Chain A
Amino acid sequence: MLSYLGRRILQLIPVFLGATLLLYAMVFLRPGDPIAALGGERGLPEATQEAIRAEYNLDKPFIVQYLLFLRGVVTLDFGVDFRGREITEVIANAFPVTMQLALMALVIEAVFGIGFGLIAGLRKGKFFDGTVMVLSLTLIAVPTFVLGFIMQIVVGVNLGWLPVTVGNNPDFVSLLMPAIVLAGTSFAYVLRLTRTSVAENSTADYVRTARARGLGRYQVTTRHVLRNSLIPVVTFIGADLGALMSGSIITEGIFNIHGVGGTLYDAITRGESVTVVAMTTVLVVVYIAANLLVDLLYAALDPRIRYA
């Protein structure tokens, strides 16, 4: 188990180097000149632009810039961005709120998705099943920003039940509505995955055997049906954590959350390669960690799976 973990962590290194090199190259190849745009419509004098380029090492060849970036990774000091702020500080400010939002969304989609999915799967073809299937289809069909705007206007502005925006006060209550919106689509997928899986497993031989052995309905459902049904669901949820963190740009915008999405978007439009790559790298690490966790969870869910 430990050696398996060690191997998986060692695998991080080539993934990390490959991902950063690729990302850096992509940002480097982005057309246009971010420094020229600093002056707005009016532009900056050529000499000023040169001075700024030298200050940010943008006048150096690609490989030198990339190595400087790697040095930044090792020393955890990426220098300052075009606004003069420490890049590590910018990243450290953006991640906690997005992490909180993503985790809240994850809990919502897991609890409600698995819960409703289980009931629907056990009552396949009944009224409850039909209702949640239509509901989940609607959630998948409606784009996140439509759901976000509607909830904001109805629940926030008109009814006044929840705060309209989050702003500089990211607490549980104000993050609740954005988390529900963010969880919406994934909730529908988790629900459908659980339902199908549960419905399939309830008719499996081992479940029939368990029933024949005289086990109670509750025990059959939790120990045999649900546990075996969770493997595809856990795979999806694990991969979804990364998607929720990097994919919350729209939700963050609607609810004015100053997290990863907005910061990354601003950095891309400003052409700040170091910020973009550093932030994306953190996201890559989150993805990898979440996948590792999922793999370890398999073993817990299915005793046949063992890591050595």
Chain B
Amino acid sequence: MTPRRRLAGVGSFALASALLLSACGGGSGDDTGETSAEGDSSGIVTVSSGEPQNPLTPGMTNEVYGGLVVKNIYEGLVSYDAEGAVHNEVAESIESDDNKTWTITIKDGWEFSDGTPVTASSFVDSWKYIANIENAQNQQYFFNGFKGYDPEKPSDIAVEVVDDHTFTAELSVPSSDFELWLGYSAFYPMPEAFFEDPEAFADEPIGNGPYEIESWEHDQQISLRPSDSYAGERTPANGGIDMIAYTEEDAAYNDLLSDNLDIITNVPASAFGTFEDDLGDRAVNQPAAVIQVVNVPEWVEEFQGEAGVKRRKAISMAIDRPTITETIYQGARTPAHDFTSPVIDGYSEDIPGSEILEYNADEAKKLWDEAQSESPIADDYTLLIASNADSDHQTWVDAVCNNIRQVLEIGCEFDPYTTFDEFLDARDNQEIKGIFRGGWQADWPSMSNFLGPIYGTGAGSNDMKYSSKAFDAKLDEAAAAESPEDATALYKEAQEILFQDVPGIPLWYQNATAGYSQAVENVQFGWDSDPILYQVTKSE
């Protein structure tokens, strides 16, 4: 988030919105080839970043700056490649007969950088700790699929050590994509040193990843160097990573242009129009696992019932997504065709019902008029689109409103909230009187992660209070599916239901907009918008 951005998108780097707003990257990346032998393996790669907002532990880090460090100093049971496919790292095998009770065996020979071995209890203790409300961990939420999880009171999730190299995990409902979860940072192991003194550990985290922290100058720079004890697939092809803190994306961009910096993870909005010319084939611009929507709250009267659904569809069809993404974002957003993201396995542009995401002025007006005759609302009706205003949201809201005013011949206005937390307050207290901005960045590369947590009845991020029995049932069915292919087919059917009810109106996918200098090679951005740092080589 970036922080940045201070002038153009004031405050978009605020911690609060960092998770979603400063997210970028993703896609399969242009294939820069394998980790080749070219380049100097001792070159230090510099990356634009910022001061981590939380202790660098799997349980606390939940924003992009800290996330990039944590991903490189720890290693999980599995790791993701650029396409989001999982590869075993610490895990020897992850097996289950019923998608519910899983048995995990881990490989021999893994060590933390303090020399202690990675055992089954490194995972079990860490997971139990993070999942327990008593420990007030930011990442507690990610264990909500485990049996015994409780967001309200102290709890003990059903994860048990069998022997040094084996443990079991029991989920509350079957989940066919459990393996995909395990590359996420909340599931990384922690050494005994953490449990002895969590505060001291936060200053000098000890991981089992490809890198370890050599030095950390707060607010300025974090230096990572290859770890001797690393035993996984992601062996560093460079001499280390220096993460340089920037308060403005523009400053980082100018440093990149003058070759003072190797990789920027986010192109500033001011350079959207020019960065592909400036950088040539060193520019990265591909859809990421981030979708932006406007949510339709169930508590607003005019969007309830049959007529309400017609109004939702009318609004969706009144929005000219390709024009807005082209003119406002200069192509740094991709018009949405579903409720997930193009980088997710099983993504499809022709799910039945998805035609409401196409601009169709006549049909939109017709639907709105039908709704008016069925259940009329005032002729001088003004639609409000709510969002926090501390980031650059006014621009797109104005554009969407222009569409709506012209096509539906109703009023439409931006309903700004000064800060992100004020917006959250109003949203959670159901004080918002129109539709409101929403967005989702995937935690792991799976369709279920885009659907369940947002549209499931009572789900954590179901801010519009949508509830559909048919949809819930379809999700359960998909989670228990025998194969990933079956699951994908069912998730598509679940999306058909969403296209009928329109609890949210998908707008566009955020793109990875990034770039790198002439000094580095083999730069790829992963499905999760982060650069895959271990394989970068630096020629000097």
Q: Do A and B come from one complex?
A: yes
For B114-138 the 0/1 string (1 means CB < 8 A from A) is 0000000000000000000110111
A167-B461 CB under 8 A given contacts A41-B439, A160-B258, A254-B248:
no
Instruction: Provide the bound-state CA to CA distance between A84 and B203, in Å.
Output: 9
CA distance A85 to B54 in the complex (A): 9
Give B243-266 interface residues, CB cut-off 8 Å to A.
Answer: 244-248, 250-252, 254-255, 257-258, 260
Interface size of B in residues (CB-CB distance below 8 Å): 67
Cα A254 to Cα B484 with chains together (Å): 48
Task: Flag if A45 contacts B244 (CB, 8 Å).
Answer: no
Tell whether A43 pairs with B424 under 8 Å between CB atoms, given A256-B251, A258-B220. yes
The winner among A89, A160, A253 for most chain B CB atoms within 10 A is A253
Check A43 against B218 for contact (C-beta < 8 Å). no
* Residues of A with C-beta under 8 A to B133: 45, 47-48, 51
Residues of B within 8 A of A34 (CB): 421
Q: Which of B138, B140, B141, B221 interacts with A38 by CB under 8 Å?
A: B138
Chain B nearest CB from A251 CB (Å) reads: 11
How far is it, in angstroms, between the C-alpha of A33 and the C-alpha of B217 when the chains are bound?
A: 29
Task: Give chain A residues whose Cβ lies under 8 Å from the Cβ of B246.
Answer: 165, 167, 256
CB distance from A62 to the nearest CB of B (A): 18
Q: Which residue of A lies closest to B16 (CB)?
A: A37
Knowing A51-B136, A83-B52, A271-B421, the reply to whether A40 touches B247 (Cβ < 8 A) is no
- Whether A269 contacts B245 in the complex (CB less than 8 A), given A42-B460, A258-B219, comes out as no
Question: At the interface, yes or no: A6 with Cβ under 8 Å from chain B?
Answer: no
- Give Cα A51–Cα B3 distance, bound, in whole angstroms: 26
Distance (whole angstroms) from the CB of B272 to the closest CB of chain A:
16
Per the bound structure, the CA–CA distance linking A148 and B441 in Å amounts to 34
Assess the B54–A83 pair: CB atoms within 8 A.
Answer: yes
Report the nearest B residue to A34, measured CB to CB.
B421
Of A36, A83, A167, which is within 8 A of B53 by CB? A83
Name the residue of chain A whose CB is nearest to the CB of B217. Answer: A168
A111 to chain B, nearest CB (A): 28
Partner of B18, one of A40, A93, A271: A40
Q: Which residue of A lies closest to B50 (CB)?
A: A266
- Cβ-defined contact, B140 with A48, below 8 A: yes
Among A94, A256, A265, the most chain B Cβ lie within 10 Å of the Cβ of A256
Q: Which of B4-12, B165-173, B330-338 touches A?
A: B4-12
Question: Which A residues touch B257, using CB under 8 A?
Answer: 157
- Among A149-175, those with CB < 8 Å from B are 149, 152-153, 156-157, 160, 163-165, 167-168
Given contacts A42-B19, A160-B258, contact A36 B141 (CB under 8 A): no
The contact of B460 among A43, A55, A83, by CB within 8 Å, is A43
Q: Does B51 contact A (CB under 8 A)?
A: yes
- A31-89 contacts to B (CB < 8 Å): 31-34, 36-48, 51-52, 55, 82-85, 89
Q: Does residue B17 face the partner (Cβ distance < 8 Å to A)?
A: yes
CA distance A47 to B258 in the complex (A): 48
**A45-B140 in contact given A37-B421, A84-B55, A256-B246 (Cβ < 8 Å):** yes
Tell whether, in the assembled complex, residue A164 and residue B16 are in contact, meaning their CB atoms are under 8 Å apart.
no
Select one of B14, B218, B418, B441 contacting A31, CB under 8 A.
B418
B62 touches A266 (CB 8 A): no
B530 contacts the other chain (Cβ, under 8 Å)? no
Q: Is the CB of A164 within 8 A of B14?
A: no
Whether A31 touches B422, Cβ cut-off 8 Å, given contacts A45-B152, A254-B248, A269-B14, is yes
Query: How far apart sit A170 and B250, CA to CA, in the bound complex (Å)?
Result: 19
| Cα-based distance from A40 to B14 in the complex (angstroms) | 10
Select one of B18, B140, B255 contacting A165, CB under 8 A: B255
Q: Note all chain A residues with C-beta closer than 8 A to B202.
A: 84
Contact indicator B260/A269 (Cβ below 8 Å):
no
Chain A residue nearest in CB terms to B17: A40
The 0/1 profile, CB within 8 Å of A marked 1, for residues 229-254 of chain B is 00000000000000011111011101
Interface residues of B in 371-412 (CB under 8 A from A): 390
**How far apart are the CA atoms of A283 and B141 in the complex, in Å?**
40
Measured CA separation A43–B140 after assembly (Å)? 11
B423 partner residues in chain A, CB cutoff 8 A: 32
**CB proximity of B463 to chain A, nearest CB, Å:** 9
Q: What's the least CB distance linking B92 to chain A, in Å?
A: 32
Question: Does A40 contact B20, Cβ atoms closer than 8 Å?
Answer: yes
Alpha-carbon distance between A65 and B101 when the two chains are bound, in angstroms: 48
Q: Kindly provide the distance from the CB of B145 to the nearest chain A CB, expressed in whole angstroms.
A: 14
Measured CA separation A37–B16 after assembly (Å): 5
How many angstroms between the C-alpha atoms of A82 and B428 in the bound complex? 22
Question: A254 → chain B, closest Cβ, in Å?
Answer: 6
In chain A, what residue has the closest Cβ to B18? A40
How far is the CB of B178 from the nearest CB of chain A, in Å? Answer: 20
CA distance A145 to B250 in the complex (A): 12
Given contacts A38-B138, A149-B250, contact A253 B220 (CB under 8 A): no
Kindly identify, within residues 37 to 84 of chain B, every residue whose CB is under 8 Å from any CB belonging to chain A.
51-55, 62-63
Q: Is A255 an interface residue (CB 8 A)?
A: yes
Residue among A32, A145, A157 with max Cβ neighbours from chain B (10 Å): A32
Q: B7 and A253: CB pair below 8 A? A: yes
Task: Decide if B352 is an interface residue (CB 8 Å cutoff).
Answer: no
Chain B residues with CB under 8 Å of A164's CB are 251, 254-255, 258, 260
For the complex of A and B, list the 9 residue pairs with the smallest distance between their C-beta atoms, beginning with the closest.
A40-B19, A32-B421, A37-B16, A168-B220, A32-B422, A37-B421, A269-B14, A51-B136, A256-B251
Give me the interface of B with A, judged by CB distance under 8 Å. Answer: 3-4, 6-7, 11, 14-20, 51-55, 62-63, 133-134, 136-138, 140-141, 151-153, 199, 202, 217-221, 244-248, 250-252, 254-255, 257-258, 260, 390, 417-425, 428, 438-441, 453, 460-461
Q: A47-B153, A256-B248 are in contact. List 16 more A-B contacts (CB 8 A).
A: A30-B419, A33-B424, A37-B14, A41-B441, A42-B453, A44-B140, A45-B152, A47-B151, A48-B136, A152-B251, A156-B258, A254-B250, A256-B252, A266-B15, A269-B390, A271-B419
- A selection of 17 A-B contacts at a CB cut-off of 8 Å is A31-B419, A32-B422, A32-B424, A37-B420, A38-B16, A41-B439, A45-B140, A51-B133, A51-B134, A93-B219, A157-B258, A165-B255, A254-B250, A255-B251, A256-B246, A256-B248, A265-B247
